[in-house]
Chains A and B, each alone.
Chain A
Amino acid sequence: MILYNLLFYHIYELALRSKSNRDMPMFITITVINLCFMFNIFSVFLVLEGFGLIGNLFPDETKLVGAIVFIGIVSMYYLFGKRYKRIYEHYKSKRKNSPSTFKAIGIVVMYYLVSGIVLFITALFKNKDWLFNSL
């Protein structure tokens, strides 16, 4: 959770500095966090499925509910009791200076890239494609 909160802080900081997102900083932040969460949670599921520890967790019949639950979990976590404000204030008070724009962009892009690559590797593992062909 600390990792996500830290990520949240950097995205929120970027949103506040962006002319395009300044009017709704919380909204764009939760959107990006949601995407990162999906990358990570799907990677975990694919690894577990790949090892045969769990079955298919994405049944066709419940996909609408499932999608809403996935998005709802993250959104509710940050919106409930305006937690997003407390998180932002907490990390802001811990720092003398707010992070530079380049540093914040770097952290967010790096996290996103690594999460994306991990998801693709776990998908290859689950499907036994490419390097995992002989497993």
Chain B
Amino acid sequence: MFTDPLGLCPECPRDKRYYDARDNFLDYEPTSYVSPNLNGNSWVHSIGRNSRVYERYQMWSDASTLGLDEYVQKYGETYTNMNAYWRYYQEEQMVNGVQVKRPQLILSGRVNGGYKRANGVSDGNGWTSIAQGSLATGELFRNLKSYQFTGKDAVRTGNVLDSDQFLYNGKAYGNKYYGNQYQGAATVKHAKSTFQNSARVLKGAGKALGVVNVAVTGYQVYDDFSNGNYYSGGTRLAVAGIAAGVAFIPVVGWGVVIGIGVADAIWGDEFYNYVENQFRN
């Protein structure tokens, strides 16, 4: 039932009724007086929005009763749309005072998880965050090992390897250097082969980490799109592009990329949920 206890909405129709697409009576305007407090929209805007919210909420309730598959078949709905209705259902619950512990998760990205859990299918998406965190840690480990073996970061080590040089005590020498009166030939020969072996492994590890990183990002974006979270998928792509661009920064680039990877693994979901939530109606 519509209520406006403080009388703040003079243009709100007091007796407006809402019907769904199949002309079933839903209710009087249910939540319009709450909405401006939630999103800062005008009264008029929020009324239209809430009617849709309520309609979709009702559709989800119907689907819960009937069974999702049967509902989709009966009313010609798509699973993507039903996924969106779940979002509105949760929103409606929150507006109506149902305790929701982490609304930002339930209102967007984790909706998919919630939607799947409602059907008894596990979420299965959390591993990508773990994979991302592991990749960032792997890259950090690769660079630490590089400092340990060659005295330079992994990128510099790779560049030295490609330019027919080797690093010995943090200094680059040409491959045609075989020692002098201070550095014995055997020592230099040993340093050269040790450098080449470790540099090749570090370079290979870098490539492998990069390939897995692209694959994980691709999977996450595809996952977002398959669940109808287009805005978070697009943002994920944008962040991946920024990380790729940052990799061009000399010297500190790899460190910043690791930072972005770690931040993405820890706060990524929250951030993408926020974006999805903001762009959604």
Contacts and interface: CB of A to CB of B under 8 A. Distances in A.
A24 B206 contact: yes
Given A15-B248, A45-B225, 10 more contacts: A19-B251, A23-B155, A42-B233, A55-B78, A56-B78, A59-B226, A63-B219, A67-B219, A71-B214, A133-B281
A129 B254 CA distance: 38
B110 interface: no
Contact of A31 (B206, B222, B244): B244
Nearest to A132: B281
A58 B231 contact: no
B249 A20 contact: yes
A119 interface: yes
B111 to A, nearest CB: 13
A124 interface: yes
Contacts of B156: 19
A128 B206 CA distance: 42
Give chain A's interface secondary structure class: helix
Contact of A60 (B227, B250, B251): B227
Nearest to A65: B222
A127 B280 contact: yes
Interface of A: 14-15, 18-24, 27-28, 31-32, 34-35, 38-39, 42, 45-46, 55-56, 58-60, 63-64, 66-68, 70-71, 109, 112, 116, 119-120, 122-124, 126-130, 133
A20 B247 contact: yes
Where chain B touches its partner, the secondary structure class is: helix
A119 to B, nearest CB: 5
Given A20-B155, A55-B78, A116-B234, A60 B279 contact: no
Nearest to A123: B230
B250 A63 contact: no
B69 interface: no
Interface residues of B, number: 46
Contact of A18 (B228, B233, B240, B248): B248
B189 interface: no
A1 B237 CA distance: 21
A18 B222 CA distance: 30
A61 to B, nearest CB: 9
A116 B222 contact: no
A59 B254 CA distance: 35
Given A20-B249, A56-B79, A58-B225, A67 B244 contact: no
Contact of B203 (A23, A55, A68, A126): A23
Contacts of A14: 248
A58 B259 CA distance: 31
